[in-house]
Structure formats: structure tokens, C-alpha cells
Structure 1
Amino acid sequence: MGINFEIHKRAGFSDPSPYPEIRVEAPNQAYLEMIMDDYAGIVSEFTAINQYLYHYFETKKYDDLREMFESIAINEMLHMEILAKLINLLGGRPFFRGGASTRGNDWSPRFVYYGCNICDMLHADLNSEFKAIKNYQEHIRLIDDKYIKELLERIILDERVHVEHLKIAIENYCLS
């Protein structure tokens, strides 16, 4: 059974490009550990989902921000599902643990930045997206598997869309 990519996409909150097929050249423990960090490390899809959901819960008076936080969280769920499949194909199991960033330890809610106010939340989310992009770019550089590289490059396209939404929200709520 494949992933239903469309169920995890909200119009305007992800790149319109198709996702490549989820496959790997061969199982690889080193690549698995890098992907585990993207999956449930300190800066990870699991952390992003929980951080965006918390920010969604805390912005009850701001429907546009709630829609953005919820839509981005749903897109991050797709990324997490893609990474879970990669983890399986690389020879692992998608436990909620990181790789090097957590020294292989379990994911922790301490990784979530809750924020003090809307602007603090937005800036933290923007910073997290930049860190995620940087991590994916580093993993693309280190991984010698064309299929994994294609998937990570595609995920970066979505992360860049998230960056643009967050910049607009910061402009609307924090720079006036």
C-alpha cells in the first residue's frame, strides 16, 4: 500500500511538484541513522508536527495562523510518513528516536519550542524550518543514494513553502 500524498497536502502549503517514488538503492545503516534524525531527532518532522500543533492550539483568536499551523503540521506528517518508509527500506524500524542528535535516544517533548507569544512562536518555527533545510542539505551531501537524495530534495521544496508562509505571518503580526 502506497502513501496517499494528496491527503497530506493543503492547497498553497506545500510545493505542487510530485513526490518521487519511495525507494532506496540498498539497505544502509549509516543512512538509516541520518534519516532517523530527520524523522524523530531534535530538529525533525516529529518535533515540527508537535510544535506546529501546539502553536495551533494556542492561537485560538487568529484563524489565519491556526490554518497555517495546522496545514504545515499536516504536510510535516507526510514527510514523516515518507521518512518512516525510507527507514523500513534502509533496514530499520520507525521508532520515535533520533540518530546522532539524540545519541540514539527516544524523541522527547523537550525538543518542542512552545514559545511565549505569537511572534516568539513564529520566529521559532521559521528558525526550525531553516535548521531542517540545513540538515536535509547536509544529509543529501553525505548520502550516496540517488533515490534518497531525490526524496530529501523534494521535502526541502515543501519546507521552503513553509518558510515563505512564516515570513509573511511574521511580517503581518510582528513587524507592525
Structure 2
Amino acid sequence: MASNKHTIVALVADRPGVLNRMASLFRRRGFNIDSIAVGHSETPHLSRMTIVAEGSDTQVEQIRKQVEKIVDVIRVQDISGLNIVSRELALIKVKSTPETRSEIMQIVDIFRAKIVDVSADSVMVEATGDEEKVDSLYNLLKPFGVKEISRTGRIAMARGDQGNRRDENEG
């Protein structure tokens, strides 16, 4: 069985413990979560959770079915096989000197990223894009000296209506 990365999106109730129950389920099944991102959805009192985990199609389908059984989960879908838009946000603090600052700025511009903070010895770069874009930018900035990096992990949605299995009575 081939193992690959899956993107699972769940609509969950905004209640304490939901994230913990979700993470515990993955842990009990022996899955490592590559990233997990949670934020408010278009429906009041519901959040959208995007989980990226590695496993075979069969393993991930079993996990998806288990996630569906969690009381506070409204809807869950593995959108890996769909045509999706996915993004990640990264903040990267890079050492800079007056001599290197313009070169860093050029690299940042190429990636359509932006500098959001400047200090005497560093610049902070904000980058948004797919994981490969963020990785590429990070690799180009590494030689200058990356002081710190913070990444959100993947968030994703299916294009068009292909991921919407909404009941007409819902939200």
C-alpha cells in the first residue's frame, strides 16, 4: 500500500476539547499529523479544521470514518483527490545587514512575499503560497541566516462546488 499525504477538512462545533479529541484519534491510530489548522468558518459557532496526514488511501478512509463519529464533528471529507486550492502562511525572520538587505528584498519580491518588519539586524518576511513555494523561499533565505520561522500549515478548499456536500437545511 502506497503512503501519501492527505488533506482532510472537517467542519466542527466551536467547543472545548474538539481539537484534543481529533488529535487523540489520530494518535491512537498511529498517524502523525503533518499540520493542523483551525479557524472560524462561514457558519457561526462552527470552525473549519484542515488536517494534513500521511497514510494509504484505505488507512485515511478509516480515520475519516472514525472522525465522523466524534460528536462535535458536523462534516468531514478527504479532499486529497479533488481539485483544490491550498495555501500556507509563513513568517521568516532573516538576519540582514545594510549590505544584504537589498538582495533579500529582491528574493522576497520574486516570491511575491513582503517584508512586514525591519530592525537593525533583521527583516521579517511574510510569505503565502503552497508548501513548495514557502520551502523554496526559505531555502533561498537560509544562507543569510534564518533566525526564526513560523508556519501555519496547510489550509485548503475544493474548487467550485466539488467539495460541498451541504444539506439544504444546514447553516
TM-score by length of 2: 0.29
More strand by share: 2
More helix by share: 1
